[in-house]
Amino acid sequence: MPASSAAAIVITGAMAAGKSTVAQGLAEHYPRAAHVRGDVFRRMVVSGRQELSPEVSAEATAQLWLRYRLATTVADGYARAGFTAVIQDVILGPDLARYVDLLATRPRFVVVLAPGPDVLAHRERTRTKKGYGDWTVTALDHVLRTDTPRLGLWLDTSHQTAAHTVQEIVERLPEARLPD
C-alpha cells in the first residue's frame, strides 16, 4: 500500500494481545493516519452499559454492535478524508466477517494478533488494565482459534516486540488485504 493511500486496517485479537500498542505504532508509520480505538465507544456509555460475557445477553450484543458500527463509521470518515484508519478492537468469531463488511472503505485489511494463551495470561497478569472480566484467557483464545474465520494476516506475536510486529505488518500488508 502506498504510504499516502487511504485505507482501513483492522487490528484484532484477544485482550492483552497487544492491539493498542501495535495499532498506535502502525498508525504512526503512515504520514496521514488515525488510530480508531473501538473500546472508546463502549466507555462512552455512562449508564446502562452491559458488558459482554460468556453468557451473552441481547442487550450486551446490541451494545457491542453499536460500538462496532460507530467505530467503522468513524474509520470510513477518516478514510474519506484521505487518512489510513487503523481500527483496533476485540472482534472474534463470526463477528469478524460481519464487522469488516460494515466498512465501506477500500482497500480493507485485517491483521489478527494471535500470541499463545500462555503469553496472553502472562501479559494480562503484568498489565495494569484488566480486560478479561468473566472471560478466561483459555475461553477467549478458543473463540479466536476455532470460531474466527481465517481472514487477512494472522500473526503469532508470542516472541515479538510491538515494534517488530508493526514492521512485520508493514512488510506483509498485501497478505492482509481483503477482496474488494
Length of the chain: 180
pLDDT in tens, 15-51: 889 999 999 999 999 999 999 999 999 999 999 998 8
Contact criterion met (CB below 8 Å) for 153 and 172: yes
pLDDT in tens, 81-134: 999 999 999 999 999 999 999 999 999 999 999 999 899 888 888 867 655 467
**Exposed, middle or buried by CB within 10 Å (0-12, 13-18, 19+), for 127?**
exposed
Q: What is the pTM of this model?
A: 0.93
User: What crossing angle do the helices spanning 58-80 and 95-102 adopt, rounded to 10°?
Assistant: 40
Contact criterion met (CB below 8 Å) for 14 and 131: no
Which residues face 6 on adjacent strands? Answer: none
Does residue 144 surpass a pLDDT of 70? yes
Buried b (16+ CB within 10 A) or exposed e, 92-115: beebbeebbeebebebbbbbbbbb
For the domain made up of 7-176, give the CATH fold: Rossmann fold (3.40.50)
Band of residue 77 on the pLDDT scale cut at 50, 70, 90: very high
Instruction: Specify the pLDDT at position 122.
Output: 85
* Calculated CA dihedral for residues 60, 62, 68, 70, nearest 10 degrees: -120
